[in-house]
């Protein structure tokens, strides 16, 4: 039996819509609660469903997110930039190709 402590709502979630029942094809209507967003669907061992909002990225940028070493390097670079741990090397304009 599920106790109130076992529910997702005990983790900071609040009910935004009353009971819903799936239609014959398993679809739920969420209305304005879920409009204008894309979601990842997570289901736990109790059958609770969590919709996690996601932001799609262009396929041309997926290489960064699919490579853990590159992603870690980018995180380090962003952290260094946040804490001013970098050396300004000036402009690289002289190396730019004007044809591109």
For residue 96, what are the CA distances in angstroms to 87, 88, 90, 91, 93? 20, 18, 14, 10, 5
The model carries a pTM of: 0.52
Place of tokens 């669907």: 41
Look over the chain and give the mean of its residue pLDDT values, rounded to a whole number.
85
CA 3 to chain centre: 29
Specify the pLDDT at position 97: 79
What six digits make up the tokens of 64?
A: 């960064």
Q: Residue 50 pLDDT more than 80?
A: yes
Percentage of residues in the chain having pLDDT higher than 70: 87
Q: Residue 4 pLDDT more than 70?
A: no
Q: Residue 15 pLDDT more than 90?
A: no
């Amino acid at each position: 039996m599920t106790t109130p402590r076992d529910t997702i709502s005990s983790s900071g979630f609040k009910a935004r819509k009353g009971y819903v029942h799936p239609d014959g094809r398993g679809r739920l209507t969420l209305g304005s609660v879920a409009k204008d967003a894309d979601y990842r669907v997570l289901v736990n061992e109790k059958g609770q469903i969590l919709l996690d909002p996601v932001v799609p990225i262009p396929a041309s940028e997926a290489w960064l997110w699919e490579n853990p070493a590159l992603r870690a390097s980018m995180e380090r670079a962003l952290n260094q930039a946040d804490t001013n741990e970098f050396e300004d090397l000036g402009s690289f304009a002289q190396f730019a190709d004007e044809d591109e």
